[in-house]
Amino acid sequence: MTTRLRLMALVLFGSLAVNLFLGGLMVGRWLEPHHPHGPRSEREDRGPGAPPFWLRRAIGPEGAETLEEIWQKHAPAIAPLRDELQRSRRAVIDTLEAEPFDSRAYAAALSDMQTRTGRLFEAIHGAMVDVVEHLTPEQRRQMVEQSREWQRRHERSKDD
């Protein structure tokens, strides 16, 4: 192989590697469009009873102390509802696995999951109202900006 041919093969290989890398990034973005940005430790909830990441991010560091304090008051009501929802999700999966398949049991499991999801959301929304009542106008503006940014990303990913 001549020097020129080796150089051309190297350039083509390099181009292929870059294209595969960029393609992987694009596919990853397409598969996980709502994955929050930032260091992993910043994205993870800090254990049971901790406020969810998306709410911590929306409120920002200025409201973090208020969020933590108020959320802890609501955690004892939220935690069992979250556990109930997890159990109902497992029940839905169990009815899908069952042989013979029982569509009535599946429908009942889905209905139960919907009810439990509603109860959990009611509790979370109550905590959110309590948190927001204690924020300053500037902290609420921060929350609005973060919420709008999330909505723009969400709408963009639905268009893709």
- Pair 9, 67 in one domain: no
CATH of the domain at 90: 1.20.120
- Pair 54, 1 in one domain: no
pLDDT at 135: 86
Q: Is residue 40 over pLDDT 50? A: no
- Pair 72, 26 in one domain: no
Instruction: Confirm whether 38 is domain-assigned.
Output: no
pLDDT tens track for 136-159: 898 888 888 888 888 888 787 766
Q: Is residue 20 over pLDDT 60? A: yes
Q: Which of 109-113, 133-137, 146-150 has the highest mean pLDDT?
A: 109-113
Burial class (CB in 10 A: 0-12, 13-18, 19+), 105: middle
- Pair 26, 87 in one domain: no
- Pair 22, 55 in one domain: no
Name residue, tokens 């051309």. Answer: 8
Instruction: Confirm whether 53 is domain-assigned.
Output: yes
- Pair 59, 136 in one domain: yes
Please state the domain count of the chain.
2
pLDDT at 2: 85
DSSP 84-119: HHHHHHHHHHHHHH-SS--HHHHHHHHHHHHHHHHH
Instruction: Confirm whether 25 is domain-assigned.
Output: yes
Instruction: Confirm whether 39 is domain-assigned.
Output: no
Instruction: Confirm whether 9 is domain-assigned.
Output: yes
Instruction: Confirm whether 42 is domain-assigned.
Output: no
Domain that holds residue 8: 1-32
Chain mean pLDDT for the chain = 82
The values of phi and psi at residue 51, to 5°, are -65, 150
Instruction: Confirm whether 37 is domain-assigned.
Output: no
| pTM for the model | 0.63
